[in-house]
A = this chain, B = another copy of it.
Amino acid sequence: MTVECKNCPLRKKDCFLPFSQQELAFTQGFKSGELSVDAGTTIQIEGSETPHLYTILSGMGVRYKTLENGRRQVINFILPGDFVGLQAGVMGEAAHSVEATTPMVLCTFRRSDLWRLFQNHPGRAYDLVWLAASEEAFLGQSLVTVGQRKGLERVSWALLKLFDRLSHLGLANGNRAPLPYRQQDVADALGLSLVHTNKTLGVLRSRRVAKWSEGELHILDREKLQGYALIEEEDVVQRPLI
């Protein structure tokens, strides 16, 4: 009993580009099933081949890579609507691991059908490139953050980015949004130690700029937070959903 694409709850959100009838039909045929996993499940392992591609229907997770010595870098946070496994799909093996932070429902596609998509649906192929390019652009921003911003700037940047992504998905309620990650996840995403991340969050809390506790992020002073984050305002565009 899986969700049909035409009833997909994500489609209704206005952060995604509308589907044409034809795209809808194709995507429905492309979809091979659904996967529901518990919190903590590893969906994809770095270096492994996976037969599937996924679109996240609900739930949140992280992409990460691990160094031999155990240090972990969170590549980014995965939210509903994100497409997972494109790298593994085209390059053979996954470049990073993916883990569910909350229970998650994923829409699955067969890797072997990917070629059919390129052959018959140039529009969808274009969307894939768009997604890949846009992921790349985001990674570039993360690299700037980790490479050039200091602690307070990094943490502010991350909270703001996460809040905005959640907000565009319609998951925010005013200036509050659910954020079920651990401080360790954010620390690993920013290249900071857990302790330092914790203390930096404490600064934001005591200055009444942002508060994050019990899985909820609360933006108290967006202006100041943006100031700390050294963020250039950027326009939001609708993105394709696969």
Interface residues, chain A, with chain B CB atoms under 8 Å away: 65, 67-69, 71-73, 75, 86-87, 89-91, 95-96, 115, 118-119, 122-123, 125-126, 128-130, 132-137, 139-144, 146-149, 188-191, 230, 232
**Contacting pair A133 B87 (CB below 8 A):** yes
- Distance in Å from the Cβ of A192 to the closest Cβ of chain B? 9
**Contacting pair B75 A149 (CB below 8 A):** no
Please list 23 pairs of residues, one from A and one from B, whose beta carbons are closer than 8 Å in the complex, sorted by A's number.
A65-B141, A67-B148, A67-B149, A67-B230, A68-B230, A69-B230, A73-B144, A86-B129, A86-B133, A87-B133, A95-B136, A95-B137, A95-B140, A118-B123, A118-B125, A118-B126, A125-B125, A125-B129, A135-B136, A139-B143, A143-B143, A147-B188, A147-B189
Q: Which of B75, B86, B90, B143 contacts A146 (CB 8 A)?
A: B143
Copies per complex of this chain: 2
Q: Could you say which residues of chain B place their CB within 8 Å of the CB of A72? A: 148
Given known A-B contacts A125-B129, A136-B87, A147 and B230 have beta carbons under 8 A apart = no
Besides A73-B144, A90-B126, A147-B190, 13 new A-B residue pairs in contact (Cβ under 8 A), listed by A number: A65-B140, A68-B232, A90-B130, A90-B133, A95-B136, A95-B140, A95-B141, A118-B123, A118-B129, A136-B139, A139-B140, A147-B188, A147-B191
Nearest 3 A-B pairs (CB), nearest first?
Answer: A147-B191, A132-B132, A118-B122
**Contacting pair A142 B143 (CB below 8 A):** yes
Q: Could you say which residues of chain B place their CB within 8 Å of the CB of A67? A: 144, 148-149, 230
**Contacting pair B146 A191 (CB below 8 A):** yes
**Contacting pair B134 A91 (CB below 8 A):** yes
Q: Name the residue of chain B whose CB is nearest to the CB of A94.
A: B137
- Distance in Å from the Cβ of A153 to the closest Cβ of chain B? 9
**Contacting pair A129 B130 (CB below 8 A):** no
- Distance in Å from the Cβ of A48 to the closest Cβ of chain B? 14
